[in-house]
């Protein structure tokens, strides 16, 4: 049966999604980039920890150098001269060289991660269309057979272990689709369709959010990614909450 999109969207408020997630034993990680549940999110998580480790090491090194300089300056005044200038030149040159090396390491890691995010095979991928509205998500499960097409709102069911291609667009303003447990964010531009390929490696309930301010009720524009075993996904697809059009 046909159900107005507004009626589908209203019961799926952000507060209700949060309550549903909190009611689960593992609800603490339902919206966290540091709790990856898929291959792309795992690569993003690795890049994050690499950057965190490098930035922490740089912070400690700079702080240590500052404390050493302050202590040495109090114990023995620095006398200007050729030897002092040479030492300063060596220190500054070394710091610049180390900075360049660090930037190149992070650049290579970032490019490698970007390539990994787009390397997932999509031969047997599930095709889903997602349209962003102020302030809810319209979801279409496409299929060659009209009887197999399903529509819903604010809730996306996906099978575990199978690639899913999300075709994303916006109906009104710029939105941003972000399910951190499964992938990075992707902007939705009105009149333009982009795609995002993701995969869940384990069953779970993962909360997503619009990551681009899109109006007064932007904070309420949340959605759920429900990763299920293939047999459960097939049964859920035609449940009352996912009525065919």
| Position with higher pLDDT, 62 vs 118 | 62
Per-residue pLDDT tens digits for 2-27: 333 333 334 444 444 444 444 444 44
Cβ burial 82-114 (10 Å sphere, 16+ → b, else e): eeeeeeeeeeeeeeeeeeeeeeeeeeebeeebe
Structure tokens at 37: 């549940």
End-to-end CA, the chain: 6
Residue range 94-114: mean pLDDT, rounded: 90
Q: What is the reported pLDDT for 10? A: 43
Q: Among residues 16, 43, 61, which one has the least CA distance to residue 198?
A: 43
What's the number of CA atoms in the CB half-sphere (13 Å) around residue 151? 14
- E strands in 114-203: 126-133, 136-141, 150-153, 155-159, 164-170, 175-178, 186-188, 194-198
Q: Is the pLDDT of residue 226 over 70?
A: yes
Report percent pLDDT > 90 for the chain. 40
pLDDT digits (tens, 9 = 90+) for 34-60: 889 888 899 999 999 999 999 999 999
Q: What is the mean pLDDT of residues 204-214?
A: 92
For the residues 152-176, what does the mean pLDDT come to?
A: 92
What integer pLDDT is reported at residue 144 of this predicted model? 67
Q: Which two tokens stand for residue 195?
A: 């795609």
| Percent residues over pLDDT 70 in the chain | 78
- This prediction's pTM: 0.71
Residue 44 near residue 33, CB atoms below 8 Å: yes
Q: Which CATH class is domain 5-30+124-242?
A: mainly beta
- Cβ pair 195, 167 in contact under 8 A: yes
pLDDT of residue 22: 43
């Amino acid at each position: 049966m046909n159900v107005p999109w507004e009626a589908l969207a209203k019961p799926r408020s952000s507060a209700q999604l949060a309550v549903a997630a909190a009611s689960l034993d593992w609800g603490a990680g339902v919206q966290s980039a540091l709790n990856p549940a898929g291959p792309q999110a795992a690569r993003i998580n690795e890049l994050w920890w690499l950057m965190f480790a490098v930035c922490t090491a740089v912070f400690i090194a700079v702080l240590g150098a500052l404390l050493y300089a302050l202590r040495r300056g109090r114990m023995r005044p620095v006398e200007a001269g050729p030897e002092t200038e040479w030492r300063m030149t060596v220190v500054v040159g070394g710091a610049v060289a180390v900075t360049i090396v660090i930037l190149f390491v992070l650049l290579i890691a970032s490019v490698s991660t970007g390539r990994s995010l787009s390397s997932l095979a999509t031969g047997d991928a599930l095709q889903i269309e997602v349209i962003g509205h102020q302030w809810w998500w319209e979801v279409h499960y496409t299929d060659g057979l009209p009887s197999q097409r399903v529509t819903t709102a604010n809730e996306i069911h996906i099978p575990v272990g199978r690639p899913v291609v999300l075709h994303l667009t916006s109906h009104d303003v710029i939105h941003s689709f972000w399910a951190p447990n499964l992938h990075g964010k992707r902007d939705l531009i009105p009149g333009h369709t982009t795609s995002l390929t993701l995969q869940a490696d384990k069953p779970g309930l993962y909360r997503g959010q619009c990551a681009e301010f899109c109006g007064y009720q932007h904070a309420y524009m949340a959605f759920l990614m429900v990763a299920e075993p293939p047999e459960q996904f097939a049964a859920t697809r035609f449940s009352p909450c996912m009525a065919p059009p």
